[in-house]
Amino acid sequence: MDDLGVALVVEDDDDVRHLVEDVLRQAGFEVLSASTGREGAEIAQREDPAVVTLDLGLPDIDGFEVLRRIRTSSDAYVVMLTARDEEPDTLLALQSGADDYLTKPFRPRELRARIAAMMRRPRVGVSSRTPAGPSPVAPAAVEPTLANTHLRRPLPVRTTTATRPDPLFRHGGLTLDPRTRTAVLAGRDLDLTRTEFDLLHALLRAGGAVIPRADLVRVARGERFREDSYVSEADERAVEVHLGNLRRKLGDDPRQPKWLITVRGVGYRLAPGTT
């Protein structure tokens, strides 16, 4: 298995920490670990890991504070692992900069699959870790059934010319460039997270068609073409948080939306405008 760089496990429970370490080593990472939040934040700042798994309930400082400290210096993929299943904790974790979360007890294969999906998505600002081709964490090794996955129903794609398969997208003063992963609104660069950029890109590609919540979850995971992947209500709520953050950065008013329209009971679509 290829070396994917450093992964950091911040977990005070010995059994869980050893389990996560094993999962990440088998995936191809060099694994470092910490049993306290302060130690974990220090290692993250010193070692610049590619992936961090972070327990929410730590003995010294909680996972939210650790995440805040990590985000001051690192663009690592962060997966929150927590025994708490309260919705406010989940929403706060995503709003604070986590890329994903899992509730304990979790399935090791699911953790590995989610990390594989994240590693398939380009990193913002750290191009040296952006995979040049398919994810090094092979999906077939994560779940045997994934080897038979087919590209069955992609989201609608709007193209302007046959010679530019990945064009710029424009809408009401917004310009999005998928090649450079940049978004500019009225001459101002938008500071979007990976997930926010991917969701906005998908909505622009759809060209006004409604995208169901479940499909947006798969976009956020990097699983756009997999209709068979399980999507929970918690996953859909998490996407709603990401879309809420995206709305805020766009300066959008949900009561009079210029960008994102909620289609109740279905999903979201791009508001009409000059494209």
pLDDT per residue as tens digits for the range 8-54: 999 999 999 999 999 999 989 999 999 999 999 999 999 999 999 99
CATH for 6-128+137-147 (3.30.9.10, 1.10.287.610, 3.40.50.2300, 3.30.930.10): 3.40.50.2300
Q: What pLDDT sits at residue 150?
A: 32
Residue 174 parent element (H or E):
strand 174-177
Q: What are phi and psi of 30, to 5 degrees?
A: -85, 125
Helix (H) or strand (E) holding 263: strand 260-263
How far, CA to CA in Å, does 185 sit from each of 15, 84, 159, 245, 258?
47, 38, 21, 15, 13
Residue 124's pLDDT band (boundaries 50, 70, 90)?
low
Domain 169-270 has CATH 3.90.45.10: no
User: What are the boundaries of each domain within the chain?
Assistant: 6-128+137-147, 169-270
The answer, as to whether pTM is greater than 0.85, is: no
DSSP state of 47: H
Triad 36, 238, 258: Cα angle to 5°: 130
User: Quick check: 87 pLDDT over 60?
Assistant: yes
**144-167 pLDDT per residue, tens:** 332 333 333 334 434 333 344 557
Is residue 182's pLDDT more than 70? yes
- Tell which phi-psi region holds residue 121, choosing left (phi > 0), alpha (psi between -120 and 50) or beta: beta
Phi-psi label, residue 173: left if phi above 0, alpha if psi -120 to 50, beta otherwise:
left
250, 185 contact by CB (below 8 A) = yes
Alpha helices in the chain (DSSP H): 14-27, 37-47, 63-71, 87-95, 108-119, 139-142, 194-206, 213-221, 233-250
| HEC profile of 102-151 | EECCCCHHHHHHHHHHHHCCCCCCCHHHCCCCCCCCCHHHHCHHHHHCCC
Give the DSSP H/E element, type plus range, for residue 79. strand 77-82
> What span, in angstroms and rounded, lies between the C-alpha atoms of 272 and 12?
50
The phi and psi torsions of 262 (rounded to 5 degrees) equal -85, 125
Contact 171, 270 (CB under 8 A): yes
pLDDT, one tens digit per residue, over 197-221 is: 999 999 998 888 999 988 898 888 7
C-alpha span between 142 and 223 (Å, rounded): 14
